[in-house]
Structure 1
């Protein structure tokens, strides 16, 4: 199910939250209205929400922001926000190809969240905290295809945008499709399944 946190006490780093502004492109003032309505950031002099990039913001508030954007503007805008995430969020270094990038996505996801004030991924120990779900990575042997099962509280369209943007850094012709034969969070399912092929 989308828009509902799995646990309370989860926060998102401001660097990742900035994706909302980037996803709206030249309509950042409109994006700001959604963020400010949920108490995220503070009004800047130009009308654009000011976000502290190293500050932490409520995941619940961010999900409510997504819910309003989705209801009022549709999935296309939510996908655009997702496409902005790889440009903004912290990712572990070292990905050389689409496989490395998709394999590191779950770690990056946890690096950009914290739970009760503690980071959800510790690069020193490799320890990952539960509470926000996961981005799956399953390469299909002998094919140029990856299956990604995303079990997160974020919107289906948002995850589609993240997968598209991240994978196209390494394979320009990659095609990302939602497996319609599987459950979907838009319909109350626990996860969505995406197929990446090139």
Structure 2
């Protein structure tokens, strides 16, 4: 997926990397390595390309579980539409939240489709790594877990080999 060179991400989004590390200095060094501030201003805008490079380095240097951990914090750190009460509402709002936290050009999309009474398919076409996206979805699933559900699960779905780069699908289920 080609990202517009002028696309920007807000500082609230950058702060999730600080939450993903037990030692904040590691995260601050990673942000600085890519020309981003060690302590981003939540209301300022920064290069999306630099942020994507941070996410890529998270995976290379610290593993996919750290990308996942950063994604888990998105639900608490970033801007979401007001009034969300249910998991289906929260998942449906992901595309709106994307546009609140990232601006400019081709930034991708989120789509969701119910596939059963307790299952939703989420399609992401974004430049972010799959483990980061999985963490975002699981963070939402945990926060908005339906009453009476014992657990929620986010499972990546296999895509055809000829799928576009950046396309990811996940199945969200609760029991």
Fold similarity call, TM over 0.5: yes
- Equivalents in 2 of 1:103, 1:30: separation in Å? 34
> Offset of 1:54 from its aligned partner?
0.7
Tell me, yes or no, if structure 1 residue 40 matches structure 2 residue 36: yes
- Equivalents in 2 of 1:51, 1:97: separation in Å? 31
Alignment map for 1:1-198 (pairs within 5 Å): 5-24=2-21, 26-41=22-37, 49-115=38-104, 131-141=106-116, 143-171=117-145, 173-180=151-158, 182-183=159-160, 189-198=165-174
- Equivalents in 1 of 2:128, 2:19: separation in Å? 17
> Offset of 1:170 from its aligned partner?
1.6
After superposition, give the CA deviation of every residue in 1:55-80 in whole Å (9 maximum; x if it has no partner): 11100001111111111111000000
2:3–2:49: 8 Å Cα contact kept in structure 1? no
Structure 2 residue ranges without an equivalent (≥5)? none
Give the number of equivalent residue pairs.
169
1:183–1:192: 8 Å Cα contact kept in structure 2? no
TM-score w.r.t. the length of structure 1 is: 0.81
- Correspondence for 1:124: none
> Offset of 1:16 from its aligned partner?
1.1
Structure 1 residue ranges without an equivalent (≥5)? 42-48, 116-129
2:128–2:166: 8 Å Cα contact kept in structure 1? no
TM-score w.r.t. the length of structure 2 is: 0.91
- Equivalents in 2 of 1:16, 1:53: separation in Å? 8
Instruction: Write out the 4+ residue segments of structure 1 that deviate beyond 2 Å after TM superposition.
Output: 187-190
Q: Aligned to 1:57, what secondary structure does the other structure show? A: strand
Q: 1:34 to 1:106 in 2, by over 3 A?
A: same
